A and B are shown apart, each in its own frame.
Chain A
Amino acid sequence: MEANDGMEKKEDAVELTEQKPAANGGLDIDAIQAKLAGKSGKHYWQSLDEIADTKEFRKWMDDEFPNRSTLLTMNRRDLLKFMGASMALAGLAGCRGVFLPQDKVIPYVKQPEELVPGVPLYYASSIPLAGFGMGVLVEQHEGRPTKIEGNPLHPGSLGALDVFSQAEILGLYDPDRARSVINNGDVSTWELFNKNATKLLAGAKKIAVLTGAVTSPTMLAQLKAFKAAHPNTTWYGYEPQDRSNVINGLQTSSGQPLEPIFDFTKANVVISLDSSFLSPEEQPGALKYARDFASKRRVVGLTGEMSRVYAFESTPTLVGIMADHRWAVKSSAIAGIAGAIAEALGIGMIRSAVPQNVNRSHFSAMMEDIRAAGSSAVVVAGPHQPAEVHAVVAAINAAIQSAAVRYISPVNASYTAAGIGELKDALAGGSIDVLLVVGGNPAFDAPGDVEFEKNAKLAKHVIYLGRDQNETAALAEWALPMTHPLEEWGDLRAFDGSVSIIQPLIAPLFEGRSAIEVLSSLSGKPIAGYDILKGYWQQAGMPGTGEFEARWRDFVHDGVIKNSAFVPKTVSNLKTPAELPLDDTTIEINFRPDPTIFDGRFANNGWLQELPAPVTKLTWDNAAIMSMSTAKKLGLTHEDVINLEVGDRSVKIGVFLQPGQADDSIVVNYGYGRTVGGAVATASTNGGVPDPTEGGGVNVFGLRTLSSLNSASGVKITKLNERAQLVTTQGHRPLQSERIVDERDILREVTIQQFLRDPEEVVPEFAFPEEEIKKNNLYVEEVFEWNGPQWGMTIDLNTCIGCNACVTACQAENNIPVVGKQQVANGREMHWIRIDRYYKGDDVNPQVTWQPLMCVHCEKAPCEPVCPVAATVHSHEGLNQMIYNRCVGTRYCSNNCPYKVRRFNYLNYSDNQPNFMTKVRPIAAVLGNTTEERQNGIQLVKMLNNPDVTVRGRGIMEKCTYCVQRINDARKESKKAGRDLKDGEIITACEQACPTQSIVFGNIADKESRVSKLRNDPRAWLLLEELQTRPRTSHLAKLRNPNPEITPIPEPKPKKAKHGEEHGSEGHAEGEAHKEEAHKEESHSEGQTGTVKTEAAHGE
């Protein structure tokens, strides 16, 4: 936690700054700091002039050639101070790239304490996702936040981070954010707004406040204060992806509003019912769940344990892909399955129906497993399943006394608020005078039958506070800019109720104010966000003992209040619902949040738009995802455009064929098809009507209705005579390549039972025998005789859940540009890491295996000898380095790379080009007040760049560097301290973000390092080793733990003759074989209980 030490040194936390007496003469920065103390971030901007307005400064500023006599008479210190004044102020604002010329670099005169130029500081903060907080550490370079990383102290993050929170750093610098107060399309000011709003609210008979999910205690207090100030207020809540079904289900069964949280470290058998608890877009606790889940599937050497996962799901999810047994069933059939599980456990049930494609004996084998596992089994249902299913699932978990599930009060407080349906009624009744929308984007994402746009106009006044210039802002009378979480003070609760802080890293880039500030000023108490937050906690009391100030400082430093998680409640006598919803026999359609742009709030985020969706690998688009046989039945094929009709609403959308998708079940991810909202969000639509033939996604929110938010039946599909362009990063034709995967050593995957029987079974029969590779090797064994660290990496395919966190982490760390949909279609995406997806089996229900792949840093790298200008060379420490300045771009290195991990800047991507930065339509233009369409601002996005990594221009080859800048930083530190580098001191960006800790980086020359041990793991192999490239990255084979009753374990393959030589002494091998023999029975019997523990695990 060294990283956190600099935390209090936030400029906004002014009271912690030591005040030194002013130096003689010049501009008194200390005085300015004193002046600024206690003011909100936003204030800095407005008062820049007034603060800088000393006599001398004015003179300096006014003069084109500043008074030379003054210059000459001034001593050097004063001169520097003088010049530094403007910089110091700009430093406070952190925006000198935007507002001041960039061509001068002037050092600090009075350097903020602990700030060493070039050395980043880290501050704890949190990033909200659908209201839930994710604790983060933000890397800040001289006042400029550049990267968001997980906060190890935060229970929801544990140091890892999901794609959304990581990409928020790009959201901060998004030039299309709401910049100023807009009144009916014209630029206005906060002062005018406040004056008007006070009048409006005072005169209003009925006020409606619409928010998204609210977990923030301070925000909740502000809402209450607002209600207290305006008693005729009703609070409405709407979140496109919410957990109300879960809460309602438990409400019916236990009588109190509850939601389950899980502890997968206690789950040996997991039954997932259309749930993707590893996906952050579905579960706020996904990172924690993934960590726990992986800990139950981690096998090191022959030690570890494997839980067993059964998944019933309509579309392949991260959980289904990790599952040992998966069945593709319709989402509407899940209720019947839940019923069947309950019935088998003897819970009185009304209805149970196991779908046709689930084999009865397999189902009963699964039930045996659950019964045997007892309290170590757990059933998890997706939040989009109806409340009744959650009630049944709770009853099942209660019946087996599952230790892996606990119930807490809902973290999202807005479940107590009225729903958007009630808001619609209120609006349609014409009784609402003022509609205040805080965050969210209901005009875009409200269900179709709410007709938000039409009904909102029935309110006399609409006030919208939001980060983006979006659809809702366009219809509001007052559109107010809201701050980004990195610009404001606040707090949030995590999935388990733990409180984390939102701490500003930079003064607001635009005129934004935070929600709590606006609510507070509308309640008649205009206070700065910092004071609101601190005041709240002072009043409410922080958990823990001791001085408040000390605890507050701990809170700001750690980012988390310890022990603030909700206390689990005990539930008993769970009632099962009277009836379960019936399975639908028609084609169903499921609405799911997008795995990359969530519900559309990240639609203007290029990183997320371009991030390939984990399973489909689709970028920049959504589609009607269906199975091959459904498509065949409907006479459709891939990329056909269809008219999808639900009730009286329809959309035009492209067809995407997905292996493993349930028949008669179509999934559409919502969030696409934004019409207002920035260059990236509206890239394809260009502000107009989205067209699937052009791509860029379609808005399907209109198909949702209040009565069926998550799915609809009775879908009518008409084929249109058009073609959609759906762009994926991985080919859509898996068929012919399958043979190669099967015949070559590209993936290694066996069952845990086989692995324990004989670890050699992970080695496929066709793999080149190691002896042969050694024999054929023309090179000396020791390529690098340098006595120093040798870098290497291991990637455990067994725990990789394919969540993409590493891809975004790498993008943020290494200044990787976004290239736009057309360039991705041309196969030119720049991600240094790709997660290859391999299907195994038929297209009905294939097994998927992930293989994350970045440069493997071959010791005999084929890219090196073919470069005519020596732009790619090896370091002593075994890094395959790219010398960008030397590269002329012949691209031969890429051709000669068997792993194809090199990326080429075909165009000037870093300085982005109009490929996706199309015209932006500001709100005023949308409203018709102006026809101005501006090109996207580039300068702002440049502030995002990591100063430790070169920004590559066009014509340059690039690739994974093993985060060489981090290696160098750590090496410098160790040299300064006069010690060797410690194992784990260098953490690559991908390794850091990985929620399952599947990536390990370190020194392979140190035999004690984690990476060395994993490199010698029996499951480790070198990809394409037969090419003798000698990669430094090893992959660890994937293991599955199938129920032998369902999938018989294959017979052992005949032993190879030369086996003994490879594995040390014969005696040892025999001894081990003997132990394995003894263990086999054990594992078989335990196979029934679902978890396979290895001998060493027993020993421990």
Chain B
Amino acid sequence: MANKETLNNVLITGENSYASVEDSIGRLILKPQLHQRGWWIFFFIGLAGTGLLGVSITWLVYQGVGIWGNNQPVSWAFDIVNFVWWIGIGHAGTLISAILLLFKQQWRNSINRFAEAMTIFAVMCAGLYPLLHTGRPWVAIFWLFPYPNIMGMWPQFRSALEWDVFAVSTYFTISLVFWFMGLIPDFATMRDRSRNKFGKIAFAILSLGWRGSNQHWHRYEQANMLLAGLSTPLVLSVHTIVSYDFAISTVIGWNVTVFPPYFVAGAVFAGFAMVMNFLIPVRAYYGLKDLVTIRHIDWMCKILLATGMIVFYGYILEVFYGFYSGNVFETALTKDWRFNGPYSGYYWALILCNGIIPQLFWIPKMRTNLLVVWLVSFVVGIGMWLERFVIIPISLTNNYLPASNKMYYPTMWDFMMFGGTIGFFIFLMMLFLRFLPAINIFEMKDLLHKVINDESKVEPTVEAMNSKMNPTPAKEEVPA
């Protein structure tokens, strides 16, 4: 891929018309020949991963959680690490589609659909873990929900795990509805453009009778705003509640008040990294450079930098608490299990991945170098996984009573299930690219409309657009 592209403030580059926008997005669906070897390779990787996931889930349910490396005292390990990691990845989608919509950030238009799809798929991957990590998933699947029963037995609402059930299921539902609603106008476009009978029928059903009337658009805008309003607190609440799983406990290294903001920032951080990991190759491969411009990449890098620094601040605070608290258990955890000790490599790798390497983005040139951006995003993905690894199993290996300290070693099945979820995620993303409009067509056309009708007739900029649409631009949300 080309690593260097010119950076300007144009959100749509090239010679684009409404038709060309429609075409460049729609043809990904309508012209199967576009998906060449690259798509098939990743499709099969994803398919294989999905198979792996199926095998490991089957074996897990058949044999028990004992096939993993979890032990006493390390009762949670890869299962919860991966759960938190996946949930975090989902956050970028919601942030882009909901918060940036509310703040009227036009640049979100070309990436929101993609990011939202990632949210849905990541939450699907994440959702597997809390259920399957239980000893008896066949009862956990309904006992965790409050349903009327003859025993008069309710779930225990004081438990953060119970909050989790509601947080994650609400999050998934809202994200799915939001995503599907955003797709309706595009489904209608696809229905109209589709020549193949199957496509026509399928998109016709999915578009729910969308005709593009004023009333439709009016209702759409209203519902969209409402859902955005609903989703926005979810971005904050879901990961806050996930962080409560740890923060409300007595476990040294978990019982930290900074967790909620630090987890949310970490989630956005990881989510943007994942978006870039996928988006950069996809835009290159499918020629979407005019719609996802280098300006988008640049801004996302800035968000990465900002959230990365919040996360880094969290690490520094953890160390600070470790010593300032004067609590010997906290100090011991920091000194003996993080700075030193058998797992110290993971801790320092985490600091390197999440704390040091993203600082590259201070340099503007780095933010436009696609290879660097891709690599740094990849490293951040690893770093965020390490962060959860450091927090969850490593804190558990260290105990109040040193006699119960025990090392944790993952097994083959831990890796297989994790690899399986990654494969499943890739599989779903490939299907998404193939069968659904990966970029929001109507919002791009709307954007193009605004670009074309710009009075200045010079190349429009975001600032210009903002000033036109909104006399007092919401600058505070544009990352520095």
Contacts and interface: CB of A to CB of B under 8 A. Distances in A.
Interface in A363-396: none
Contacts of A746: 400-402
Interface string A895-906: 110111011111
A853 B72 CA distance: 15
Contact of B153 (A836, A886, A894): A886
A853 B135 contact: no
Interface string A1020-1034: 000110010000000
Contact of A827 (B71, B155, B332): B71
Interface string B379-408: 000000000000000001001111111110
A740 B135 contact: no
Interface stretch (A231-239, A542-550, A619-627, A867-875): A867-875
Interface residues of A, number: 56
Identify whether the interface residues of B are mostly helix, strand, loop, or mixed.
loop
B273 to A, nearest CB: 28
Contact of B400 (A743, A904, A1027): A1027
A834 B73 CA distance: 13
Nearest to B162: A868
B135 to A, nearest CB: 2
Contacts of B155: 868-870
Contacts of A836: 401, 403-404
Interface string A828-844: 11000010111000000
Given A740-B402, A900-B404, A828 B66 contact: yes
Contacts of B153: 870, 886
Given A853-B401, A866-B248, A895 B165 contact: no
Contacts of B72: 827-829, 894, 900, 902-904
Contacts of B134: 888-890, 955
A731 B405 contact: yes
Nearest to B70: A906
Nearest to A837: B403
A220 interface: no
B269 to A, nearest CB: 25
B48 interface: no
A115 to B, nearest CB: 35
Contact of B156 (A867, A891, A898): A867
A958 B144 CA distance: 20
A905 B401 contact: no
B199 interface: no
Contact of B75 (A837, A869, A904, A905): A904
B151 to A, nearest CB: 9
A898 B250 contact: yes
A484 B74 CA distance: 41
B34 interface: no
B144 A868 contact: yes
B257 interface: no
A838 B401 CA distance: 10
A890 B69 contact: no
Given A828-B66, A907-B64, A889 B135 contact: yes
B135 A888 contact: yes
B249 A827 contact: no
A955 B158 contact: no
Contact of A895 (B64, B65, B396, B401): B396
A837 B405 CA distance: 12
Contacts of B74: 827
A555 B184 CA distance: 91
B140 A888 contact: yes
Nearest to B399: A900
Given A895-B75, A907-B63, A867 B159 contact: yes
Nearest to B335: A736
A892 interface: yes
B249 A868 contact: no
B161 interface: yes
B402 A737 contact: yes
A35 interface: no
Contact of B135 (A828, A899, A905): A905
Interface in B405-427: 405-407, 409
Contacts of A740: 328-329, 332, 402
Interface in A910-955: 954-955
Given A823-B66, A1027-B250, A894 B73 contact: yes
B302 interface: no
A1063 to B, nearest CB: 27
A39 interface: no
Contacts of A907: 63-64, 66-67
Interface in B130-167: 133-137, 139-140, 143-144, 153-156, 158-162, 165
Across the A-B interface, give the 3 residue pairs with the lowest CB-CB distance, nearest first: A889-B135, A955-B135, A737-B402
Given A888-B134, A955-B134, 7 more contacts: A737-B402, A740-B328, A867-B156, A868-B159, A886-B153, A889-B135, A890-B134
24 contacts: A730-B403, A738-B402, A744-B329, A828-B71, A837-B403, A838-B402, A838-B403, A851-B403, A853-B401, A866-B249, A868-B144, A869-B140, A869-B144, A886-B153, A889-B65, A891-B135, A895-B396, A898-B401, A900-B400, A954-B66, A955-B64, A955-B134, A956-B135, A1023-B401
Interface of A: 730-731, 736-741, 743-744, 746, 823, 826-829, 834, 836-838, 851, 853, 862, 865-870, 886-892, 894-896, 898-900, 902-908, 954-957, 1023-1024, 1027
